[in-house]
Structure 1
Amino acid sequence: KEGRFRETLLGKRVDYSGRSVIVVGPSLSLHQCGLPREIAIELFQTFLIHGLIKQHVASNIGIAKSKIREKEPIVWEILQEVMRGHPILLNRAPTLHRLGIQAFQPILVEERAICLHPLVCRGFNADFDGDQMAVHVPLSL
């Protein structure tokens, strides 16, 4: 198939991606989505390690990874900073038109499901009865 997304992302195993059930998040803005902490820490791990070293919280990769494993409070602060500058792509299969993939600003949530504002579901043809969505982190903008 042709096209950037169909050729490189869709239907393949790729790095910096995840998948989860979607639930309603009416308190979110239209451009935001709630990303579970477990998924966020896995998706943004390389950026998080870089942030920990850059802010002198960790002196090397091993120490940074151990701080992430122990889920120290500073990790969540740096993760929020990292996520502020990185939009994510949400995709719901089947992607029949261009509204099937949309970019959102991620917000950390305590739940284990991706939270979406109910008004953005129309483009995805999604509802909240157990639908799943894929998350992709673009490495460059």
Structure 2
Amino acid sequence: MRPTKIARVMTALFAMTMTFTLGLAAPASAAYPQTSFYNCGPMGCDYSGTEGRFTWYNRTASIYGWMWNCDIPGGAAVAFEAFAGSTKVDSKQVYGDEIGCQGLIEYNLGIGDTNRPGGINRIKVTVCTDEGWTWCAPPRNYSRPF
């Protein structure tokens, strides 16, 4: 019996999650605080989403993770918005055009402003089903640990 597309994606995500959880993905950044994130798209995690971690530096953060999109026409998109209090400081986007359930897009981004006193303290993550940002899951906010 052939595994379903969703089963293959979930197996790949489990393997990456275990690597991430065990700290094998980035031992060099262990001195900086980290926050894990997991966001599903508007149709649920079986169809689209993103998972990864933020590594918080003095004024900025790095974003390491992956996204998936199982047969959603038009692809999927993930937006990361960095805030200092209520002020939006920076934003980054990741796009995946009909990746398919067997594929994941890995990304490694920097976000924030090195010249902003106090730096960023929150990152908002939004997953949408297309690059037009027309159908999105509710965003989730992740705060910098202190």
Confirm or deny a common fold (TM above 0.5). Answer: no
**TM norm structure 1:** 0.29
Higher relative contact order (CA 8 A, sep 6+): 1
Q: Which has the higher helix share?
A: 1
Q: Which has the higher strand share?
A: 2
**TM norm structure 2:** 0.28
